[in-house]
Structure 1
Amino acid sequence: MSYECSPNEYPKYRPNNMVRVPIKVPWKRRLETLVVMVHSTSLILFTFLYFFLWCFPILWPVMIIYTVFFYLFDRTPVNGRSPSRYSSFIRNLGIYRYLSSYFPITLHKTVELKPTFLNKPVEKYVYDTSLRYILPEMLLSVLSRLHIIQKKPKMIQERVRTGPKYIFGYHPHGIIAMGVTGGFTMEGAGISNFLPGIRCFVSTLINQFRLPFYRDYLMSLGVTSVTKQNLKAILKQDYSVLIVVGGAEESLYSRPGLNSIVLNRRKGFIKLALEMCGSSDHPITESADDDISLVPVYGFGENNIYDVYYTNGEPTNENDGYLRRFLKFLQLWLKRRSGFTLPVVISRGLFNYDFGFLPFRRPINVVFGRPIPVKRLFGRKPGDAVTDKEVLYYHKLYVQNLIALFEENKEKYLAKWDKSLNIVE
C-alpha cells in the first residue's frame, strides 16, 4: 500500500526524502491520475483555450459570436435556465469513471428516495412525420391545415411528477468538495441510477461562471450558481438542487482527521425550502407526502484527501504563530472580497507522493440521510412570509438528522484516526 492511500493509518510525519511513484504502476491507475489532473486544472485549461483560439483569425467570427451571446450577455447561470445547458452526453463520458475510481467515490443510501418524476406511457396526438423534431410548431400547424401532414394517436413516454423535489445539503466542504464533483456532477459514480427520477443541479459561487469556456463546461455538468433567485427558479421547475452548506468558510476547517462543519449560522437553505413549498410548474399526479424535502448528505473522507497547513491550529513556536495569523487574515480577507478562499494544501504530484496539487487516493463515501418533508407550520400557508420560528424548527430537525446520519455511519466509513462531528459555527 502506497504512502498516500492508507485508510486506517494516517502518516503523522512527512518523509525527509521524496517518495516517488513506482515505475511499474497499472495503466488504469495512471489514467485515473491523469483524469484527476486534467479536471483539477480545467479552470486554467479552458480559460487558456479561449484566449488561444483568438490567435487564429479564421476563428474570430465564431469567437465574437460566443463572446457576445454566450459569455458577456448570457445570464443562464443566474436566471434558472441552467437545465437548458445540461448535457447527458458530457456527464456520461467514460473518462469520469476513472475520476470516481481514483479515490474511490462511492454513494450510499440510508433510505430510498421517492422519484420526483417517472416516465409513463401516455397517448397523444402527434404529427406523423420526422419533421416534427426540427420544424417549429407554427410551421407544422400550417402544413397540417394544408393537409400535407396530419396528427395521429401515438403512445409516448411522458415525464410525470410523482414525488417531492429535494434540497440536498452536503457536508463537509473540504478543500474543493470532490465528493460533490465526482458524485453529483458526473456519472462516474452512477448518480442517475442511484437516484432514478431525480435530476439534481449542483450550486456553486457565481464567480466560477465569469471564466469563458469553463462556465459552459460547468453548466454542461449540471452546475449552477448558488444565488437565491436562481435556485428558486430551478426548484419551481421541480428539479432538485445541492448546496454545500458550509461554503468557502468551512474549507478553512478542512484537515485530515477532522470533521468540523459550519452549520449553526447557515439557515438560508431552510428558508429557501419553506418559501418553495407549494411552488411548482408540475402538479403531483400521484399521492405524495410532501412537495419539497431536505436531505442531509455527508461525505465521509472528504477532508482527508489533502494535507493542510491548518491556520486554526495551535502554533508550535512564535514564528509559526505569526505565520498562522497572517495566513488566517489573508484567507478571511480573500473570502470577504471574492467569496472564496485558499487553504494552504500540501498534497501529491504526478510522479511523487509528497508534494504537489493533486488529491491523495483516499476513499470518499457519500452517504444520503433520511429526507425531511418540509411543510408550512404554525398556521402559515404556502406563499405566506416565512417566520423565524419555522426556520428554527426545521434547522434544529436538520441538525439532529445530520448528527444521526454521522453517528450511524462513522464506524463503517471513518478511519480510527478520524474525530467525531464538530459543529464549530
Structure 2
Amino acid sequence: MKIEWAPADVPLDRRLQTLVTGIFTLFFFSLPLTSFALVALFLFYGGLVIRTLVVIYTVYIVVDHKRNYSALDGNGFMWNRTNPLYNVYRNYFPVSLVKTADLPPNKNYIIASFPHGILGTGICINMGLEISHWLKLFPQVRPKVGTLDQHFVIPFLRDLLRWWGLVSVSKASLNYYLTKSNDPKDPTNRDGFTSNAVAILVGGAQEALDSHPGQYIITLKNRKGFVKMAIRTGSAIVPSISFGEVDIFDQVDNPPDSLLRRLQTLVKKITGISPLIPVGRGFFNYTFGFVPYRRPIVQVVGAPIEVVQSAQPDTDYVDKIHAKVVAAVEQLFEQHKKKYTANAAKTKLVIN
C-alpha cells in the first residue's frame, strides 16, 4: 500500500485542527472503556477515601438515573458547549448548519436526524459541543442530542455527556424533555429559553453499519417509535439531513451477507452498539488512521411537521405522520443534494 504523506508546508492552523480532531476522535471512541478503566484504577490503587468516594459516586449516579433519567435542565455549562477549542474541532471539517424554516420557541421538537454515520459528528457538534451557530439560527430553543440510555450509568462518562447536552433516548427521558413547559414565566425557563429540541439519530446502530462514503443509506421504514413519542407529547417533528456525514470515515467492507456483518449484528443485538472498524487518515498521512477525513458536513434543518397530541396514538395516525416524515426527508435530500454533495446525479437516498 502506497502511503500518501501530508505535505510539510501545511499551515499551522490546519495542523492544530488535525491534532484537536484526532484527540477528540480518539477520546469519543474510547470514552466508555476509559471510564470503566478509571473506575477500576481508583478502586484497585486508590486509598480508602478515594475508593469510598468512587463507590458513593457510582451508587449516586445509578439512583439518580432511575429517579430522573440523569436529566439536566437548561443548556448546562455554556463554557462547555461553546468555546474556542470546540470551534477548532468544528472548523476542521468544517461543520455548518443551514436553516430552512423557523422553529418557534412556543413548543418542543424532535429533530429526526439522518444519516447516523460512524459517530454522528455533525449533529453532535451543532447541537451538543459547539452550539453557537444553533443559538443564532434558532433563538430560545435549547439543543439536545439523544444517545444510548446505558451511557448514563457509567461513571465519568455520564457527566461528560450531560455537560455536552446529550440526553438519554429512553421513553421516560424523552417524555421529560418534550413535555417541559414553554411558558416564559415557568421557573425552568429562567435562562431565557422556552423550547427543547431533542435530536434523535433515528437509524441508530443499524444505520451506522451501512455508513460508507457517498452512500446515503438510512434506516427509517420501520422506525415509528419517535413518531409515537411526538404524538404523545405534542412535539413537532423536524427532519434533518447531515450532508457529508458519511464521507468523513470509511469502514472495513461489511456487506450484509458477510461474516463481519453477521458478527456486528450479533453484538448490536446484545449491547445496542455496533462494533465498527472505522477507516480514516493519520496525523501526517492521508492513507490510514483513525482521524476523520477533512470533508465538509452540512446539517440542513427542515420545516416542522405538526402533530395532534394524543396519549394513545392511533395506529393509522402514526402511519400517516410517519409517511409525512419519509416524504419530507426525501424532499429535503433531493432539494439540497446538488449543493452539498460532490456527485449529485449519482447520489441517491436509500431508505431501508
Alignment match, 1:363: 296
| Residue correspondence of structure 1 range 320-359 to structure 2 within 5 A | 325-359=258-292
CA distance in 2 between partners of 1:196 and 1:85 (Å): 12
| Residue correspondence of structure 1 range 11-26 to structure 2 within 5 A | 16-26=1-11
Instruction: Pick which of 298-307 and 45-54 moved more.
Output: 45-54
1:99 pairs with 2:89: yes
CA distance in 1 between partners of 2:297 and 2:165 (Å): 21
1:257 pairs with 2:257: no
Q: What is the TM-score when the length of structure 1 is the normalising length?
A: 0.73
Alignment match, 1:421: 349
User: CA distance change for structure 1 residues 88 and 18 in 2, over 3 Å: closer, same or farther?
Assistant: same
Which stretches in structure 1 are left out of the alignment for 5+ residues?
Answer: 1-15, 117-162, 278-291, 314-323, 377-381
Which amino acid letter does the alignment assign opposite residue 21 of structure 2? V
Alignment match, 1:391: 318
Shift of 1:348: 1.0
| Residue correspondence of structure 1 range 204-219 to structure 2 within 5 A | 204-219=147-162
Shift of 1:240: 2.4
Which amino acid letter does the alignment assign opposite residue 319 of structure 2? L
Shift of 1:272: 0.5
Which amino acid letter does the alignment assign opposite residue 119 of structure 2? I
Shift of 1:298: 0.2
Secondary structure at 2:64 match in 1 = coil
- How many pairs align? 331
Instruction: Pick which of 103-112 and 186-195 moved more.
Output: 186-195
Alignment match, 2:103: 113
| Residue correspondence of structure 1 range 4-403 to structure 2 within 5 A | 16-42=1-27, 43=31, 44-53=33-42, 55-57=45-47, 59-60=50-51, 62-69=53-60, 71-75=61-65, 79=69, 81-83=71-73, 86-114=76-104, 116=105, 163-187=106-130, 190-238=133-181, 239-277=196-234, 292-312=235-255, 325-376=258-309, 382-383=310-311, 385-403=312-330
2:252 and 2:278 in contact (8 A); partners too: yes
Q: What is the TM-score when the length of structure 2 is the normalising length?
A: 0.87
Shift of 1:175: 0.9
RMSD, matched Cα: 2.2
Shift of 1:88: 1.6
Which amino acid letter does the alignment assign opposite residue 407 of structure 1? E
Secondary structure at 1:297 match in 2 = strand
Instruction: Pick which of 84-93 and 354-363 moved more.
Output: 84-93
Secondary structure at 1:296 match in 2 = strand
Deviations 1:35-75 (A, max 9, x none): 22222232155554444555453644543442332x34331
2:69 and 2:168 in contact (8 A); partners too: no
2:210 and 2:217 in contact (8 A); partners too: yes
2:93 and 2:294 in contact (8 A); partners too: yes
CA distance in 2 between partners of 1:164 and 1:224 (Å): 18
Secondary structure at 1:365 match in 2 = strand
Judging by fraction of residues, say which structure has more helix: 2
Choose 1 or 2 for highest CA Rg.
Answer: 1
CA distance in 1 between partners of 2:224 and 2:148 (Å): 17
1:302 and 1:364 in contact (8 A); partners too: yes
Which amino acid letter does the alignment assign opposite residue 98 of structure 1? V
CA distance in 2 between partners of 1:177 and 1:249 (Å): 13
CA distance in 1 between partners of 2:75 and 2:64 (Å): 12
Instruction: Pick which of 104-113 and 348-357 moved more.
Output: 348-357
